[in-house]
Structure 1
């Protein structure tokens, strides 16, 4: 659609039907190489296997799903005896990989359509953001047709109308939202790690990873591999089956703690906070407190999910050129004031989460993680570890490197209105009194620099080192099992529900008496079928009742009964 639009709107570009067809084929085939569970396979499972067995799997180093797509495309063309010119064949594969240098004689702007490595704005992103946001019930209110119709080739790249800059920004923001809320949801991430562990346990016996360089074997490597492991009765696959059973009964790996880290401050956290350090700290704390636990390195997962707008820490719109209807043949990068000034300092962050595979050590693993976090803070404050990368850091970020000069005692700071900041000479007493300035609002005590959190008087605390008060549990805490939690949250059956065989009339005193007999703290209103129908069916609805001054539940009125009868 994008290629056809450019061909129709700008015939001077010389786009041919052959170009449109090659772009369409590349768009359809560019994700063929994704394995089971998409990015879980090529972004988590494959790297972990290669890390564990680098020598045996040396021939698979550097494997990506784009390479898998090319492999399957080669097999598809060969097995089906598709007659393609070699230059078309090479062009399609270069489009899939997003590598224009492989075919330098082709129109370079066409590479912005399928796998855009210039700014990330391609039809693949348009498609999955629109699809996934609609699937999860939070559809974006942006017309993708409008964005595509806005596209225009200038300076050998795809540009957009400046009036659509905010719409494009919203697409990038929607990408971040999907990653933040849905793709990286703690339960989804826990299940992903459990799937990886199941595959790792099964791989030595099923040769799973070896299939990625064999197109015929890889073709049948789908999500159904979990079912194949489950139905197996092999003793070697018992550990993998046990993990899958835990997924089925919702006995998931537990997220014991989490913290958001700004982009420039990420490196020391990612390098210092490791499963081994957490396990060592947790075992030491358990020994001190007399807890009889023995935590292993494999019991803990340190997950660092990078979430961004599409171009890591950079504003993706900085890499997009725009034009205006008054100068349709001239393009330029926009300034922030051209579309909005409400921009984050960084367009990426890291969500650091600690998972425990064994729920029985939930509390002590959290305590171990927090001990490691405290050790990291002390190492940064002493200068043994650099807080962040100066090349990526800005003076307005909340990184620890900026509070070094501020940790001395800081006097109380008075915050005033902006008018009070302008000093003016005191008028002579003989002149008419000047209009009084706005009254200053004095706030004494702590002062937060760039969102660091608590006051800086002698403290080097930032949000990265503060303990998460919403996740804090005692070191001996053990979460309830899924079945126990379900039983605890199950609502008790009311007397009316226990007597479900009784038919309640839709009118008259008997129905009012039945309704009035329900416990006033959580009234269950029983409304018969529509009046006069003779139906014995009933609508049961739980409704919280406000208590009056005497502590009794407010009575159910005849009007409410009629209202619920109409709803039924």
Structure 2
């Protein structure tokens, strides 16, 4: 039971910390900044020489911020937005602490004290698009969503979206074995020094184990606050075209859309 506890806790941490919405927003913005600076700084050229590659550390961000060159203006603006917390916008939804307790994920696992932490509540950011989990019957043949998919799903608007207006994050989280059950690859021994190994079936562990072992989440960010409404609508159109329904967490509240304009 402790084995599956560790796997489930790892999943929760992956979804709410390592792949946290704000973390991914900063990551996407840093990537955009590095791409904008690449032609001038030749960042990608250092990847081919180990003696140069190890020098690519966080100091490159400070180099972009302090450079007087006009060639780095766009990259610098993105870094400054991160400093001001003007991140790409999306809906932010976290699993409450009570969920961890009710599903017995803490049994035998030394979790940090999260009771007063960010997982205790649901948070909504001002101005967002949304996210959805890929339906389980569509997981096998799922292809990553791109900014082009979002732009091509725009039907009508006064503003014409461009790919550079949208950022898409395709998140894949599993229990170390992709769509396969990790317990099927684990063998157990009766006692120390015993050479005979045996499997343990799911029903002997718990009846609360997940029916599926893989999660794919699509998140769409609007790079500019004034485009939240347009990107949100295009994202919903994409879901309707792919699945015949809106599979996102919930619709973007109109008051949030208005506030972001």
Match of 2:221, SS state, is strand
Deviation of the 1:268 alpha carbon: 5.8
Q: Distance in 1 between matches of 2:257 and 2:156?
A: 11
Deviation of the 1:225 alpha carbon: 1.2
Tell me if structure 2 keeps the 8 A contact 1:363–1:474. Answer: no
Which residue number corresponds to residue 340 of structure 1? 206
After TM superposition, the structure 1 = structure 2 runs for residues 379-528 of structure 1, keeping only pairs within 5 Å, are 465-466=246-247, 468-469=249-250, 471-473=252-254, 477-479=258-260
Residue among 109, 127, 133 paired with 1:260? 133
Tell me the TM-score normalized by structure 2: 0.77
Q: Distance in 1 between matches of 2:231 and 2:49?
A: 41
Q: Distance in 2 between matches of 1:207 and 1:466?
A: 41
The answer on 1:219 being equivalent to 2:54 is yes
Q: Alignment length, in residue pairs? A: 223
Which residue number corresponds to residue 178 of structure 1? 13
Deviation of the 1:246 alpha carbon: 0.5
Residue among 151, 154, 159 paired with 1:279? 151
Match of 1:341, SS state, is coil
Which residue number corresponds to residue 300 of structure 1? 166
| Unmatched segments (≥5 aa) in structure 1 | 1-165, 379-460, 481-568
Tell me if structure 1 keeps the 8 A contact 2:153–2:237. Answer: yes
Distance 1:373 1:475, change over 3 A: farther
Residue among 319, 325, 331 paired with 2:191? 325
Q: Distance in 2 between matches of 1:189 and 1:213?
A: 26
Which residue number corresponds to residue 187 of structure 1? 22
Which residue number corresponds to residue 235 of structure 1? 70
1:258-317 deviations in whole A, cap 9, x for unaligned? Answer: 11124551366535x4422322333x321xxxx3x2321111122110011111112222
Tell me the TM-score normalized by structure 1: 0.37
Deviation of the 1:376 alpha carbon: 1.7
Match of 2:178, SS state, is coil
1:127-176 deviations in whole A, cap 9, x for unaligned? Answer: xxxxxxxxxxxxxxxxxxxxxxxxxxxxxxxxxxxxxxx22222211221
The answer on 1:370 being equivalent to 2:242 is no
Please, what is the CA RMSD of the aligned residues? 2.3
Give the structure with higher Rg (CA): 1
Match of 1:344, SS state, is coil
1:490-510 deviations in whole A, cap 9, x for unaligned? Answer: xxxxxxxxxxxxxxxxxxxxx
Q: Distance in 1 between matches of 2:184 and 2:243?
A: 34
Q: Distance in 2 between matches of 1:258 and 1:268?
A: 19
Q: Distance in 1 between matches of 2:174 and 2:209?
A: 13
Deviation of the 1:240 alpha carbon: 0.6
